[in-house]
Chains A and B, each alone.
Chain A
Amino acid sequence: MQIKTIDGDLAVCEIDGVQREASLMLLADPVAVGDFVLIHAGFAISKLDEEDAQATIDLFRRILAEGGGVE
């Protein structure tokens, strides 16, 4: 979910237009409004590493490009 607002240890997060409060108390990574976080049972537990996600997606694209005949 994406962080919309942060108030101390509490963030309001949104996914597909649905908003939910999440505690930031367990999160080790520093976060800011606009970051994506993984939420479990009302607590943010990890921040999505966007660079890393992009690297995996790039790898998939390369795999596809090398595929030649695969539609």
Chain B
Amino acid sequence: MKYLDAFRDGAVARRLVEQLHARVADYAGAMTFMEVCGTHTMAIYQHGIRSLLPPQIRLISGPGCPVCVTPVDYVDHAVALSRLPEVVIATFGDMVRVPGSSSNLQHEQARGASVRIVYSPLDALALAQKQPEKKIVFLGVGFETTAPTIAGSILAAQRQGLTNFFVLGANKTIPIPMAALAADPELQVSGYLCPAHVSAIIGPGAYAPLAEQLGVPCVITGFEPLDMLQGIAMLADQVIEGRPRVETQYSRIVRPEGNPRARDILAQVFAPCDVPWRGIGVIPGSGLCIRDEFAAFDAARRIAVEVEAPREHPGCLCGEILKGKVRPGDCPLFRTACTPENPVGACMVSSEGTCAAEYKYGI
């Protein structure tokens, strides 16, 4: 994107870090800021942001890696579908290596299943046009940034009269789990670095209840090093002033109203529903389920298949990691039994997963 270098300037970064240290120097308490977006998690490691912060400020990762929060029975469902000869699974790349109870999509592909990695749900739609004898099942994983693209694709499939395009849905919304974690006394979240691209869709207003009712400062922050340093400084200011509110550091992309058109398309196809999150359990209203009017495109309702009983790897702490309660180093399997080449849990699979980021960049 244009201006990229301007948001990576080392001299400005040093100055922002100095200012941050000076500002919190006299603050007696500690601050715990949670980043709720896998891309932030990755960027924080990549740029070594933690090592620049004053000791009073601690960063923890939250449940913002879409692949990581998807529970094991979803993977099992996808694996079962992939075994049907008429089904082609189309998915973003990360999903193929997420461990299910007894298999994953990569193993199924090696055994002959059709699994195609796509960049956009529209690519899955193109596959459906090209292979009318097959059932193309797109794995609908992701938050409010991805969900509208899936909604848009379902609308396009309907317009084109396609009857062989399906979505196996596991889309989720992010502000509701943020509220659940903010209310957790064990975590003591003193501020949220709110996701950048999700916020481009939902807008700052979506976090207002967090700031106003739960008193948690929220700053929508971009991914570049200067964005994150500025965002953290804005959060620290809110804590010191004792005035929690929603601010937008990433205003070059996030409008005050978000993206109403994307939200309309999302609401046309999806309705809120109760869904399970890995490690957190069912959170009421935090999921996006395909509306009855579009049931013809819902793989779960249209393609019958037997799914095995779910079984998580007993040693994996991924669920606790997603709540920010433990760090990858606390997991006995980290770097030993569990590596990016041979992941035991979902948090090690996606490049946005905390375990994968710690493995790659942590010391």
Contacts and interface: CB of A to CB of B under 8 A. Distances in A.
B197 interface: yes
Nearest to B120: A42
A46 B145 CA distance: 11
Question: A27, A46, A67: which has the most chain B beta carbons within 10 Å?
Answer: A46
B6 interface: yes
Contacts of B146: 40-41
Interface string A35-71: 0101011110110111011001100110110010011
A29 B122 CA distance: 21
A70 B15 contact: yes
A18 interface: no
A64 B119 contact: no
Interface in B178-224: 197, 200-201
Main secondary structure of the interface of A (DSSP, over half): mixed
Contacts of B254: 46
B152 A23 contact: yes
B11 A49 contact: no
Given A23-B152, A42-B149, A49-B251, A28 B259 contact: yes
B15 A49 contact: no
Contacts of A41: 92, 119-121, 142, 145-146, 149
B236 interface: no
B50 to A, nearest CB: 21
Nearest to B265: A26
B2 A36 contact: yes
A22 B152 CA distance: 12
Interface string B1-17: 11100110101101110
A56 to B, nearest CB: 6
B148 interface: yes
B27 to A, nearest CB: 20
B152 A36 contact: no
A1 B4 CA distance: 12
Nearest to A15: B1
B259 A46 contact: yes
A52 B254 CA distance: 10
B143 to A, nearest CB: 11
Interface in B1-52: 1-3, 6-7, 9, 11-12, 14-16, 18-19
Given A23-B122, A40-B145, A45 B2 contact: no
Contacts of B149: 26, 40-43, 45
B220 to A, nearest CB: 12
A28 B6 contact: no
Interface string B249-270: 0011111000111100100000
Contacts of B226: 60
A70 B2 contact: no
Contact of B2 (A27, A28, A48): A48
Contacts of A64: 9, 11-12, 15
A61 B2 CA distance: 17
A53 B2 contact: yes
A-B pairs, top 6 by smallest CB distance, nearest first, are A42-B120, A28-B261, A53-B252, A26-B262, A46-B200, A52-B252
